[in-house]
């Protein structure tokens, strides 16, 4: 890590769940006195500008300067928050991502997007700030509760659905053993982590700033982000994305964009992972539509979606990989 980011001081940012497990070990790996541990409360509800402000003030009070590196130790929320701190502290210092969750390893730590949530929606304030290094140890997944593994599989299923039908089929087939006791520490889990990283990193390398191809990674996130925010983040990110993929694939079929059977295959994979598929009853269709119009992916007041044409391929190659669909069709599916 110090070879990739040689600096005078290291700020290890973690949360109240991961810190007690791994924080001390990571800090002790640096030269004495060069690293500090900064802990934030766990949970997406704490990914706010207030937490960002507190962290940056703590770094300043502790004497950190431009010769510092931020180390993000934790899941996707910590990665987003620490990346945003690194991208804005002293106008930008290096960040090293050390994801400890499945979702963090295969999605949040890859690509350099970072930011915070606001009352208006998810990730509406942030920066592109690529990590100088990503350190992944799949053995840390053995400590995760089962539900944390399930939610991570939403992104793995998404990667197969958008780019690799063989990987999609493999993940779906292996889900029972991967989610069984001991599955997270098995030899079959590491190839899943590796292939998902390859897919996402390959897409990001071709479109770092999301001006085109990278938009395909938003499959499930347009509806999913709206539902996640409207739930007050009671739904985990992976759960919301799973619902988003189930609904958006149905939208794609109903609009004549996706092959018949695409939605059924995606719903089957998500169901095998034990992930939710339906809009929560307490969140109305109109609230979801309103939230999507306020999302950063909307353009000229129109909601844009990343939609599959079939398993392993995405629609929209001629329109910047973003597709607009009439609200009436979306409303029918949401209903």
Which candidate in 7, 46, 123, 218 is catalytic? Answer: 218
158 is catalytic: no
210 is catalytic: yes
215 is catalytic: no
Task: Report residue 248 as tokens.
Answer: 């958006």
- Of 225, 244, 236, residue with least CA distance to 290: 225
Burial of 137-160, coded b for 16+ CB within 10 Å and e otherwise, reads ebebbeebeeebbbbbbbbbbbbb
Task: Report residue 81 as tokens.
Answer: 């928050």
For residues 335 and 329, what is the distance between their CA atoms, to the nearest angstrom?
Answer: 10
Which candidate in 221, 253, 279, 304 is catalytic? Answer: 221
Neighbours of 124 (CB within 10 A): 16
Which candidate in 122, 150, 200, 215 is catalytic? Answer: 200
Which candidate in 225, 239, 253, 304 is catalytic? Answer: 225
Which candidate in 22, 47, 158, 237 is catalytic? Answer: 237
248 is catalytic: no
Residues 6+ apart with CB under 8 A from 126: 80, 84, 87, 113, 114, 115, 116
Which candidate in 113, 129, 215, 267 is catalytic? Answer: 113
17 is catalytic: no
Which candidate in 7, 158, 210, 248 is catalytic? Answer: 210
**Cα–Cα distances in Å, from 333 out to 120, 123, 322?**
24, 25, 19
For residues 133 and 95, what is the distance between their CA atoms, to the nearest angstrom?
Answer: 8
Residues 6+ apart with CB under 8 A from 32: none
- 3-class secondary structure for 227-261? HHHHCCCCCCHHHHHHHHHHHHHHHHHHCCCCCCC
91 is catalytic: yes
- Of 50, 251, 246, 12, residue with least CA distance to 135: 12
Query: Which residues are annotated as catalytic?
Result: 91, 113, 155, 200, 210, 214, 218, 221, 225, 237
């Amino acid at each position: 890590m110090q070879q990739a980011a040689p600096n005078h001081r290291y700020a290890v940012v973690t949360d109240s769940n991961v810190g007690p497990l791994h924080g001390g070990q990571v800090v002790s790996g640096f030269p004495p006195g060069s690293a500090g541990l900064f802990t934030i409360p766990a949970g997406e509800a704490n990914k706010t500008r207030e937490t960002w402000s507190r962290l940056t003030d703590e770094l300043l009070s502790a004497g950190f300067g431009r010769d510092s590196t931020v180390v993000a130790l934790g899941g996707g929320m910590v990665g987003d928050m620490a990346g945003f701190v690194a991208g804005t502290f002293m106008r930008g210092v290096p960040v090293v991502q050390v994801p400890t969750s499945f979702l963090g390893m295969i999605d949040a730590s890859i690509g350099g997007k970072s930011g915070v949530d606001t009352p208006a929606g998810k990730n509406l304030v942030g920066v592109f700030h690529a990590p100088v290094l990503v350190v992944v140890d799949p053995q840390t997944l053995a400590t995760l509760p089962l539900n944390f593994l399930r939610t991570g599989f939403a992104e793995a299923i998404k990667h197969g659905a958008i780019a690799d039908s063989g990987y999609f089929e493999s993940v779906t087939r292996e889900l029972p053993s991967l989610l069984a006791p001991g599955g997270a520490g098995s030899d079959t889990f590491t190839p899943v982590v590796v292939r998902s990283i390859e897919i996402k990193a390959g897409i990001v390398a071709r479109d770092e700033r999301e001006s085109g191809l990278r938009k395909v990674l938003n499959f499930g996130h347009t509806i999913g982000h709206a539902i996640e925010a409207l739930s007050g983040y009671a739904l985990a990110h992976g759960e919301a994305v799973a619902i988003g993929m189930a609904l958006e694939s149905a939208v794609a079929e109903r609009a004549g964009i996706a092959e018949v059977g695409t939605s059924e295959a995606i719903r089957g994979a998500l169901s095998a992972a034990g992930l939710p598929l339906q809009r929560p009853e307490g969140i109305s269709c109109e609230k979801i539509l309103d939230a999507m119009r306020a999302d950063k992916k909307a353009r000229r007041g129109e909601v844009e979606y990343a939609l599959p044409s079939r398993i392993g391929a995405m629609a929209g190659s001629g329109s910047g990989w973003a597709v607009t669909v009439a609200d009436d069709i979306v409303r029918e599916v949401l209903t």
